[in-house]
Structure 1
Amino acid sequence: MTHGPEEREEGHAGSHGQHWDLGGRWDLAPSVSEAWRFRRLHSERDQSVGAFARTAWISARVPGSVHLDLIEAGVLKDPNFALNSFEAEWVSARQWVYRRALEVDAPEGGRLTLCFDGVDFEADVYLDGQLLGGVAGTHTPARFDVSFLDRRAPHLLAVVLHEPPPEHGQLGRTSETRTLKPRYGYWWDFATRLVHVGLWRDVRLEWDEGAAITDVNPRVTLTDDFTHATVDVEVDVHGDPDVVVTAELRHPNGTTERVAGRDLRFEIPEPALWWPHDLGDQPLYEVTAFVSGARPVTKRFGVRRVRLVHNEASRERGARPYTLEVNGVSVYARGYNIVPTDLIPGRRGVPAKERALAELVRFSHANLLRFNGVGYAASNAWLDACDELGVMVWQEMPLSSSGTDNVPPPLKMFEAQVRRDVPPLVRHVRSHPCVVLFGAGNELTDEHRRPADESNETIALICTLISNTDGTRPFLPTSPSGPSYEMHPEARPEDLHDIHGGWHYRGVHDSYEMHARNRALVHSEFGCQAPSRSATLRKYLTHPWPMTDANPEVVHHGEWWLMAHRVEEVFGEVGDLDTYVHVGQAAQGDVLRHALTWNRSRQEECSAALVWQLGEPWPNAHNTSVVDYDLKPKLAYYRCKEANAPVAIHLGMTAPVGEESVTLRPRLLGAEGELTFEVFDLSGAKRQEGTVDGDLTVHLLDTPVLLRLRHEDRLAEQWLARDRPHPFAALVTAPGTTLEVTRQGDRLTVRNTGGTVAPYVMIEATGDGPERFSDNGFHLLPGEARAVESSPAASVRLRAFNASWVTSPWEAE
C-alpha cells in the first residue's frame, strides 16, 4: 500500500518485537552513471561550496515512483498530457539516489534487520557509506542485518537505483529479454514509453530477539465432498530454526483457535467455502503466525479447490483441460484482460482506482481477470478486492511477446533471474483465493510462431518453481496455448484450442464473421478499439480533432488503433469530435457483444471468453479498453455487461448487413424461455413482430431497421442495414429528435420527446471519478422512456446519434 508521509507510522512497538516503517519523505537526486559516488551522496550529508555545484535534492515519497516525485517537484510535466511523455524519457537514462536520515530508538541487543519488499528494478543499499548489498526485482524482498547500528547515533541510509535494464518494447525480441521487469513501460500499443523506476514497495526496520517470520502460507486441502478442510500453516523463519511458532486461525464468524509447534495444522469441519460471485459467497479466514520477540505476520485466505478439467470438446480434440472447476462446479469464465492501472504505479489514488475497477468488473457480471504477462503482478489492492468481490484471477509471470520474435529467453541467459524472482512473485499472490490459475507469460511461441509449451526449458523451469512455491493451482505455459496462435480463416476447428484475436474494428463483415465461425475452446484475448470519452480527450489532448494520423497528439496517444477510415466506411463522413466518439464507441460495443455471445452460445466446447482489455494505464485517444483512463466506461462496457448477464440474448447473426434481408438464429443464454421480436424503421413504425421459432429473417429497408428481441424484462437490440457503402450513415443523418431526463433518487428516466427513433442514447456523469449506470447505449422509439439506475447519483448529460447534448437540471451530489 502506498501512503503519503502524513499517513505513515514511524514505528510500532509491542510484545512481539518492534518495527519502524521507513516510508514517507525521502530525498531524491539523479546521477549520470556513478556521479553519485564521485559526489559521495551515499556517505556525506552535506556538500561544501566549491567549483562543483551542490546537488539539488527534491522531496520524494516512499513507496513511490521517481516520475511522480519529479512531477510534484515541478521538474517534469505530467506525461499524461499531449506530447509531454517525450520530455520524460530521460528519466530512465539516469541512476537515482534515494536517501534519508535514520535514527533508531531500539533496545540494545537483539537483532536489527533492514527490509525491502522490492524495488523497480535494481539497487544498491548503503548505510553510512558502507555497501550492505543489492536488492532487485519488483516483488523480490531483501533483508540486511544491521544489528551493528549504534542505537544512539544518527545514520544515513542511501539506496542507489541502477538504470533500468535495456529491455525491448512491444516490437522487439522476447528471446533477448534478460529480466522479469514488466515491459509495458518500454512502449506498448496501450501506453507510451515511460520506463518506470522507483523505490516502489515498503521499506522498514525490524527488531527481534533472534528469529523473525518472513512469510506465512496457509495451504488448504479439501476432502472430495468439500465437508472438511485441513489448513497446514507453512511458516518461513529467518534466524533461530528451533524457535517455537504459534499460529492463530480466525474464522469468518470471528471465532479463533491456536496451535503451536512444528506442525501447524487446523482441521475445519464444514468449512465456509469461497466461491466466484456468480456461484456463492466469499467468506475469508485469517491466519496469524507468532514467534517470541518478533512482529507477527497475518495472511487472509479462503477455503476452496480449483482445477482445470476437460469438457467433451477438449477431450475429443486431444487438447489440454481448459474448464475452470471451483469446488467441484464447472465455471464458464467470462471477463477481461488486465494491464497495469497507471504508467506511474506510485501515482496517488491508484489503489482506490483499482478497487473501483474491480467493482466495475463484478457489476458487469464478469468472473475472471487475466493479469497479462506484459505488466506487474496483481497488486494488493486488486487481490484484496477480488477476494472480497468473488472475481477470479489468472496470474501470468511478467514475460511477454514481442513483434520480431516471441521466443522465451534461453535458460542459460535467464535462469538466475527466474530462480530469484518467480518464487517471491508467487508468494505475493498465493494466499489469495481469487487466484485460480498461473501462466508462464503472454503469447510465448517458438521460432515459427507456434505457442510454446513445457518442452521449452525456460517455461519448464517457471512451471517447476510455481509448483514448488504453490502447488495448489493449475498452470498454463502461455496464452494462447495453441496449437493455432490466433483465429484465421484457414484454421481447422481441431487446432483452435486457446486462441487470441481479432483486435481491430474492420467494418460490418470482418469484425463479425470471424466470431460467428469461431470454434475455440478458450478465447482468452480478443477486442475492438474505440475512442475515449470526448471529455477525457479534451482533458488530455490540446487538439483532439481530427482523430486521424494528421493529428500528432492522436497518433501519440494510440497509433495502432486509428479507426476514422473504418468509421466513415460504415457511418459516412463524421464532422465533429462528439459524434465521432459516439459512433466509434457504438461500433466497439456491438462487436464485443457479438463476440461474447457467440462464445457463450458454445459452452459445450468453449470454456472462457476474455475481452482485451478492461482499462488502460495512460489516457489514449483510441484504445481497446472498455473503461477509459479516467474510469469512464465506454458504451462497450455496457454491452459486455449485457452479454455476461446471468440470462442474456444471443442474436445468432453473422453480420449486421444483408442484401434484402438478414437471417439470424437467436437464442436465450442461461435460461429456457420464449423470445419475441419486433422490427422498427427510423420513424419508429413497427414493420415486423412475432415469436422466434428457429431462424428469424428480418426484411431490410433503404434505411436501417431496429431489431428488438425480448424475454420477459430482458431486451437485446441491434440495428440492421442493407449491405452497401456507408450502411449505417442514416443513423447519424436521421431527422433530429430531443431527449429529456428526470431523476428520483438514484433512478433516471430518459425519454425521447421527438418524432424519430433516438439511436444509441449515451449517458455520462459530468463530474470526475467512477460512474456506472444500469444500462447505456440503448435506443428509444418516439415517446418512449427508459429507467436507468445511476451510481453514484450525479449530474449527467446525454445525447443520441441524432440528438444534441442535454444536461440534467440538478447538480452532482
Structure 2
Amino acid sequence: MSGRIQPPQGAAKPSWQDLGGRWQLAGAVSEAWRFHRWHVAPEQPVGAFARASWVDALVPGSVHDALIRAGQIRDPNFGLASLQAEWVSARQWVYRRTFRVELAPSARLFLCFEGVDYSAEVYLNGDRLGTLAGTHTPARFEVSRLDRERAHLLVVVLHEPPAEAGQLGRTSQTQTLKARAGYWWDFGTRLVHVGLWRSVTLQGDAGQAVVDVFPRVLLNEDLSRAEVRLDLEQDGVPSLPVTAELVHPDGRREQVTGPASSLAFCLEPPELWWPAALGRQPLYTVRVWAEGSPPVERRFGVRRVALVHNRASRERGARPYTLEVNGQAMYIRGFNMVPSDLIPGREGVAERERTLIGYALAAHANLLRYNGVGPLASETVLDECDERGLLVWQEMPLTSSGTDNVPPQSPGFLANLERDLPALVRALRHHPSVVLLSAGNELTDEAHRPVAETHPTVARMAQLLQASDGTRPFLPTSPSGPEYDLSVPVARARPHDLHDVHGPWHYRGVRDSYLPHTVNRSLAHSEFGCQAASRLSTLQHYLTDGPVWPMNDLNPQVVHHGEWWLMAHRIEEVFGPVEDPGRYVRLTQAAQADVLRHALGWNRARRGECSLSLVWQLNEPWPNAHNTSVIDYDLKPKFSYYRCREANAPVALHLGLPAPVGDGPLTACPQVLSDTPGSGRLTLQLHTVTGMMVAHDSRPVSWPAPGQPLTLPLPASPCLLRAELRGDGGLLARTEQWVAPEAPTPFAPLVQAPATSLSVASSAHGLVVRNGGASVASWVSLEAPAGIREHFSDSGFALLPGEEREVLVSLRTPGGPPASTTLTVQALNAPPVTLSWVTA
C-alpha cells in the first residue's frame, strides 16, 4: 500500500510495467562478464571459452537466495555452511532478462530502479545506461526510443560490495551507508548481502512525472484541525496539471488539481493516529499524478510526536527522553530489532516480519528500535506497524565498530551520504509509526564519549533529515550519554550522568548480572540484554555438521553459531555440572528470563525518572546456538519472552529484590507497576522445593505507590517466592522467582531435585497442566513443533505439588491455524508429555 509506485487501475495499457519476477543470474570474477560480452549478446557461441551457467533469480531478490535454490551453495543457516558461502561477495553478479514494451505510446519512457545492494552498472541492448548505488536510492534512465516491435536485453551488473568492517573495526573508515550486519556481527555470521533487491519498472509519461510525494501533516495546537501539504518531487517540464486524490479512512474521496506547489487538503477534524494502547490507527491514502503518468501513492496517519522533559531530565540538564504522542506522554517499553534474515530475498521473510510484529505486540511492546547495525525496517514492517500501532525508532545504517566508533568524515563517505541519506528518509517519512530518527548506533568521539549534534558528520545528517522530513524528533546516537555504559561505579557516584545508556548484555551469575539494573538511575535505557541458548529443537535442526553437545568452545559449531555468547561456565557456577543438552538449554533460558524481568521491573519502577526501556533484542537473523534474542531463528520464544511480557503488562508485579540470592533473611520490596491507578490485595508466599510454605503475607495495596519492604526467612535450600495481585475482577498479575542463600552453585539443588510428573488435559481455550508429584515442577515449558507459530499465555513457570494451571493456546502456520498438531509439556524435573491438539 505504501510502495513508491502503484499501477493505475482499469487501463488496458497502463503507463507502468513491472519488470520484476524471473531473471537470470551468473557470477563473474572481476570483469569476466565484459570479456565474454554477457551484457551485449543474449547467447554465447560454442567455443574454447565455456558459456555462462545461468540460474533463475527473482527480482526483487538476493543472489544468495538464487544460489541456494539452484543448489550452488548450501543454505548458510546450517552447520558450518556459511564459511563456504563467503565467496559470493567476492564476485560481480550479472542479472539479465529480456522484455517487450507493453505500455501505451507516451512522450517519454523511463527504466526505473528503486535501489540495489549495493552498486551496479545498467546495460540495455549492449549500451551502458549508467550506474546504480544505494540500497534505497532510486535511478531513472530515459529509454523513450525503445523499439516496441522487438525484445530488449536488460542487464544489471552488480559490483563487489564495499569492503566494510564487521563488528570489530573502525567506524571512522566506513565508506557507505550499506548496513554492516552481514559483514559479521555477534548475532550473525559473515554473509554480505548482494542483490537486485528492490523493484524494477518501466514507466511512461506525457513529459512530466511525479516521482515522490510526502504528505506533510501540520496539526494545530488542540489537534482539532490538520493541513496536509503535499511536498512533490517531479521530473520533466512542470507544465501539465497535477492531480491529488485523498482517500479518508472511511473510504470517502476528495480530489484537487493545480500547481504542484499548492496541493493541500484540510482535515477538520482529523482522525488521529494513536499507538496501539492509546487508541485507533486510522490511515489516509494520497495518490498524486500528472496527466499521462503513473500515480505515486502514499499512506499516512495524522499525529504529532515530540520528545519532552520529565522532571529528572530537566533537573539534570539532559536531553528530553519522554516520548509524547498527540500530547500524551508514554512510558516506552519494547525491543531492539535486527534484520529478520541475513538473506532478505528469501521466501517467507515478509511472513517472518509480520510474525515478529505480532510477538512484540503480544509482549506489550509499544516501540521497536531498528538500530544502525542493520538496514532500515522493511516496507512490510512499517506497513504492519502503521496498521497495528507499534512505534518505530529508526537509526540510519551507521554503527559502532569496537576499535573506534567515530563517525567518518572522508570525502568518499560524505559524497555517499549526500546521495543516499535523503532516499533512506523518503522510505520512512510517510509512516506514522516512525516516531524517532537517529544518525546511528553507538557513535562516539575518540575518548569513547557519545557524539552530539556538534560532530560535523552528525550535524550534516541532521540537516539532511530536517530537509527531507523535519516532522520527527532526532537523536545524534544511542546511547546519547554523557556516559556510554550502564556502570555501577558511575551509578553510585554520579547518577546524574546516566542519561541514555547501553548494557550490560552478558550473564555473569547471580550477583553481577543483577546489580547494574538495581542501582541504575538512567533516564533512558535503550539497550540491554542477556544471552541464552536457542530451543533444543532449533539447535538440532541447524547444527548439522556434528553433535550439539558440548555447548562450549570445544564445539566448532557452537562457536560458529554465536562465539560471543558462550555461557556454560556461568551456568555451572550457578547450577553445578550439567551434562544434558536439553537441561542445559532450559537453565540458560531460565537465567536469561530472570535477568531481563529484573531489569525491566527496576526500570519501570523508576517510571518518573526513566522514560524508556528496550531489551536487546527481540529476534535473530540467523540460527545461533547462544544469543541475546528472546525469540530464536525458528520463531520459537524463549522463556525470557514470557518474562518480558509479564514485566511489560498493563499491570505487573515487581518484587524489588536486589538479586535472587541473599545472606540471611530476604528483603523484598514488592510494588505494583501499572499504566493506570488501582487497588487490590497482594499476597506473597515462599515455598520449598517440596511445596511446603515457609512464609506468607497478604495485604491490601493501591497504586501508584512505592513498594514497602518485607522481610522473609531464607531457608538453607532454594525456595520459590510467589506474588499474586487480585482485584474485584480476579487475578490481575502474578510473578515468581527462585531465591537461595548465597553460596557456591546456589541453585544446584534445583537440578538435583526429585523427579515429578506432569499431566495435561484440554480446556475450552487451551490446556490444563497439573503437577502430580511431590516436588515443585520447575520451569514448565510448552512447545509446538517446528513451523508452528505458538502463542501461549505463559511458559517457563513453576507448579507446586498438586497444583494445576490453565494455559491459553493459539497456534498458527503461514497458511492459518493448523488443523491438528501435537504439543509437548515438560519441566526441568519432569519428563515430556505429548498432547494431540486439534483446532476447533
- TM-score range (shorter-chain normalised) is over 0.9
**Which residue of structure 1 lines up, in the alignment, with residue 826 of structure 2?**
799
Task: Tell me if 1:184 matches 2:181.
Answer: yes
Aligned partners of 1:94, 1:734: CA distance in 2, in Å? 57
**Which residue of structure 2 lines up, in the alignment, with residue 61 of structure 1?**
58
Q: 2:565 aligns with which of 549, 552, 561?
A: 561
Q: 1:732 aligns with which of 738, 748, 751?
A: 751
Matches within 5 A, 1:626-775: 626-670=630-674, 671-673=677-679, 674-691=681-698, 694-712=708-726, 713=731, 714-775=733-794
CA contact (8 A) 1:12 1:18 kept: no
**Which residue of structure 2 lines up, in the alignment, with residue 534 of structure 1?**
536
Task: Tell me if 1:403 matches 2:405.
Answer: no
Aligned partners of 1:770, 1:464: CA distance in 2, in Å? 43
**Which residue of structure 2 lines up, in the alignment, with residue 284 of structure 1?**
283
Output one character per residue of 1:469-512: Cα deviation in whole Å (capped at 9) or x when no partner: 00000000000000000011221211100000000000000000
Letter in 1 for 2:515: E
Output one character per residue of 1:713-738: Cα deviation in whole Å (capped at 9) or x when no partner: 11110111010011111112111111
Kindly state the Cα deviation for residue 281 of structure 1 after the two structures are TM-superposed: 1.2
Number of equivalences: 809
Output one character per residue of 1:638-676: Cα deviation in whole Å (capped at 9) or x when no partner: 000000001111111110101222211110011443422
Find the residue that maps to 1:213 and give its secondary structure: strand
Q: 1:525 aligns with which of 524, 527, 533?
A: 527
Find the residue that maps to 2:64 and give its secondary structure: helix
Aligned partners of 2:762, 2:158: CA distance in 1, in Å? 54
Output one character per residue of 1:433-481: Cα deviation in whole Å (capped at 9) or x when no partner: 0000000000000011000111111000110000100000000000000
Q: 2:164 aligns with which of 167, 179, 182?
A: 167
Matches within 5 A, 1:322-341: 322-341=321-340
**Which residue of structure 2 lines up, in the alignment, with residue 228 of structure 1?**
225
CA contact (8 A) 1:512 1:594 kept: yes
Kindly state the Cα deviation for residue 411 of structure 1 after the two structures are TM-superposed: 4.9
Matches within 5 A, 1:585-596: 585-596=589-600
Letter in 1 for 2:670: P
Aligned partners of 2:786, 2:181: CA distance in 1, in Å? 30
Aligned partners of 1:646, 1:742: CA distance in 2, in Å? 29
Find the residue that maps to 2:582 and give its secondary structure: helix
CA contact (8 A) 2:7 2:14 kept: no
CA RMSD of aligned residues (A): 1.7
Q: 1:609 aligns with which of 607, 613, 629?
A: 613
Output one character per residue of 1:562-593: Cα deviation in whole Å (capped at 9) or x when no partner: 00011111111111111011111011001000
Kindly state the Cα deviation for residue 756 of structure 1 after the two structures are TM-superposed: 1.1
Q: 1:133 aligns with which of 122, 130, 134?
A: 130
**Which residue of structure 1 lines up, in the alignment, with residue 23 of structure 2?**
26
Kindly state the Cα deviation for residue 15 of structure 1 after the two structures are TM-superposed: 7.9
CA contact (8 A) 1:16 1:296 kept: no
Find the residue that maps to 2:287 and give its secondary structure: strand
Q: Do the aligned partners of residues 129 and 12 (structure 1) sit closer, same or farther apart at CA in structure 2, a change above 3 Å counting? A: farther
Kindly state the Cα deviation for residue 704 of structure 1 after the two structures are TM-superposed: 0.7
Aligned partners of 1:242, 1:685: CA distance in 2, in Å? 85
Q: Do the aligned partners of residues 272 and 107 (structure 1) sit closer, same or farther apart at CA in structure 2, a change above 3 Å counting? A: closer
Kindly state the Cα deviation for residue 2 of structure 1 after the two structures are TM-superposed: 14
Output one character per residue of 1:730-768: Cα deviation in whole Å (capped at 9) or x when no partner: 112111111111123531111111111111111111241
Find the residue that maps to 2:339 and give its secondary structure: coil
Q: 1:780 aligns with which of 799, 808, 813?
A: 799
Kindly state the Cα deviation for residue 788 of structure 1 after the two structures are TM-superposed: 1.1
**Which residue of structure 1 lines up, in the alignment, with residue 702 of structure 2?**
none
Q: Do the aligned partners of residues 275 and 165 (structure 1) sit closer, same or farther apart at CA in structure 2, a change above 3 Å counting? A: same
Q: 1:47 aligns with which of 44, 48, 51?
A: 44
Aligned partners of 1:211, 1:494: CA distance in 2, in Å? 57
Letter in 2 for 1:744: S
Unaligned runs of 5+ in 2: 700-706, 812-816
**Which residue of structure 2 lines up, in the alignment, with residue 506 of structure 1?**
508
Aligned partners of 1:85, 1:10: CA distance in 2, in Å? 39
CA contact (8 A) 1:437 1:473 kept: yes
Find the residue that maps to 2:229 and give its secondary structure: strand
Aligned partners of 1:288, 1:748: CA distance in 2, in Å? 49
Aligned partners of 1:374, 1:665: CA distance in 2, in Å? 38
Letter in 2 for 1:797: T
CA contact (8 A) 1:246 1:258 kept: yes
**Which residue of structure 2 lines up, in the alignment, with residue 6 of structure 1?**
none
Aligned partners of 1:156, 1:203: CA distance in 2, in Å? 14
Unaligned runs of 5+ in 1: 4-8
Q: 2:246 aligns with which of 233, 236, 249?
A: 249
Letter in 2 for 1:426: V
CA contact (8 A) 2:479 2:526 kept: yes
Kindly state the Cα deviation for residue 17 of structure 1 after the two structures are TM-superposed: 4.4
Output one character per residue of 1:112-140: Cα deviation in whole Å (capped at 9) or x when no partner: 10010000000000001111000111111
Q: 1:240 aligns with which of 213, 237, 241?
A: 237
CA contact (8 A) 2:7 2:15 kept: no
**Which residue of structure 1 lines up, in the alignment, with residue 200 of structure 2?**
203
CA contact (8 A) 1:774 1:789 kept: yes
**Which residue of structure 2 lines up, in the alignment, with residue 214 of structure 1?**
211
Kindly state the Cα deviation for residue 213 of structure 1 after the two structures are TM-superposed: 1.6
CA contact (8 A) 1:479 1:524 kept: yes
Letter in 2 for 1:677: L
Aligned partners of 1:745, 1:86: CA distance in 2, in Å? 49
CA contact (8 A) 1:15 1:293 kept: no
Output one character per residue of 1:365-405: Cα deviation in whole Å (capped at 9) or x when no partner: 00000000001101011001111111100000000000100
Letter in 2 for 1:701: P
Aligned partners of 2:294, 2:452: CA distance in 1, in Å? 42
Aligned partners of 1:667, 1:225: CA distance in 2, in Å? 36
Output one character per residue of 1:49-72: Cα deviation in whole Å (capped at 9) or x when no partner: 111111111111111000010000
CA contact (8 A) 2:59 2:198 kept: yes
Letter in 2 for 1:766: P
Output one character per residue of 1:237-280: Cα deviation in whole Å (capped at 9) or x when no partner: 21121221111111111111111212111111121111111111
